[in-house]
Every structure is written in structure tokens, then in C-alpha cells.
A = this chain, B = another copy of it.
């Protein structure tokens, strides 16, 4: 006899599928927004993670929920393109801190208006309170999912 899903579990299962689909749409939009500034969605993510605070590669991975190795690759590309640079980390000899260069900041500035315009249009006609509730629930789900282990 198969296991029974709770009401919440049924809804969560629907949310999983919708999240996959929504992520695809967001990613596609992010690529189109960042393309004209010479960036991709993934590089924008990494550069954005160090805009206001220098971070090590591993730290960026934790903040964005990505594997260390994925970030390492993108960070190296950003450095090779002159959009970011590794700076010495007083707290760690080999784990250098990534920080945007002037050109890196300039690239982000070039897409800011495009991102704002997109966000304004895409959120048009949607109640802010409902969006805030959705944001809070997504944050809560992230916590729950990361704490839920899957038995081998």
C-alpha cells in the first residue's frame, strides 16, 4: 500500500514543478537583461554576490547555494575578463577574496536600469503584500528543504 501524502505535501509537490518552470523563465530573462552588458546570468550572480562585500569563492557558493567548484569557474572567468580581482585575505593565506574591478562595477551599472524596467513590468498588477508573503514562504521552504535529508 503506497504512502499517503498530507495536504501540505501535495501542495509542495505542485510547488516543486512550478519552481522548476519559474526558474527557467527567470534565468532566460536574466540572460537577456545581462547580455547587452557583456554578462550572463551566472556571471551576474557571482559578481552581484561580491558587490557590497568581498568574499572568498567558497563563501559565495554558500550564499548563493551553489557548489564551490561552480563558483570557482565563474570567478576565474570574471578575473580573466578584468571584471573582478582576487585580493589577499588577511584571515586565510590561500583563500583570496573576490572583489569587482571598476569595470565590473560599470558592467553592473549598465544593466541596472534594464533589470529595474523588467521587474517593474513583470510585477505589474500584482499585489505587493501577496508578493511579500510569497517571498517569505520561499525563504521558509529553502530552510525546510535544506534541513530535510533524503534517506539513501
Contact = CB atoms under 8 A, between A and B. Distances in A.
Interface of A: 2-16, 18-27, 29-30, 32-33, 36, 45, 64-66, 112-124, 126-128, 130-135, 137-142, 144-146, 148, 150-152
Q: How many copies does the complex hold?
A: 2
A24 B42 CA distance: 13
B134 A15 contact: yes
B25 A45 contact: no
Contact of A120 (B6, B117, B131): B6
Looking at chain A's contact residues, the main secondary structure is: helix
A7 B127 CA distance: 9
Contacts of A24: 65-66
B142 A9 contact: no
